[in-house]
Amino acid sequence: MRADAASLRPWEALYADLWPGLVRLGHLLSGSAATGEDLAQEAFLGLLRQGSAVENPRAYLRRSIVNRAANDRRRIARERVHVMGQRDDVTLPPEVDETWQRLRVLPARQRAVLVLRYYEDLTEREIADVLGCRAGTVKSLAARALASLRKDLDQT
């Protein structure tokens, strides 16, 4: 893919503007700073492949990161099943604070709703667009996630 310098300028500005927030979103969804960067990079590559066909690049990039994080989590879960009996688990220090430890036990969609709401400060409508669901679904996912977190906190 070859492009002249003038055609790259808008992409560079978009990249510079959105990169930090998208890396943070990927980090919060995956629990890993390195994976967050990978997710953001893959999302930007996907956007470049789509070119001008994308009407809302910011929404496209967020949705791409949420979907890629969910795919990664499913892949890791499948790998863990195959590796579990083959070797002992290695315990690594957490990359995020204790909030992440509580968030990571939530189902992927519930975690995505909370991260998009409280870390990305999106509205229910924007979250619904990112997740490809209705605003009512976002409300119920958030309510279930918060109830689960409350229950977890009450037990500690």
Chain centre to alpha carbon of residue 72: 10
The token pair at 56 is 């809302």
**pLDDT class of 5 with cuts at 50, 70, 90:** very low
Quote the pLDDT of residue 1. 42
Quote the pLDDT of residue 2. 46
Sequence-distant (≥ 6) Cβ neighbours of residue 58 within 8 angstroms? 18
Determine if the pTM surpasses 0.85. Answer: no
Class of domain 97-156: mainly alpha
Long-range CB contacts for residues 143-148, cutoff 8 Å, separation at least 24: 144/110, 145/106, 145/110, 145/111, 145/113, 145/114, 146/114, 148/106, 148/110
Q: Which residue has the higher pLDDT, 92 or 129?
A: 129
Domain ranges of the chain: 1-92, 97-156
pLDDT at 6 over 90: no
pLDDT tens, 92-120? 455 556 777 788 889 999 999 999 998 89
- What is 91-115 written as a DSSP string? ----SS-HHHHHHTTS-HHHHHHHI
The token pair at 119 is 């870390």
**pLDDT class of 132 with cuts at 50, 70, 90:** very high
Sequence-distant (≥ 6) Cβ neighbours of residue 60 within 8 angstroms? 43, 46, 47, 50, 54
pLDDT tens, 13-59? 899 999 999 999 999 999 889 999 999 999 999 999 987 788 899 99
Quote the pLDDT of residue 28. 92
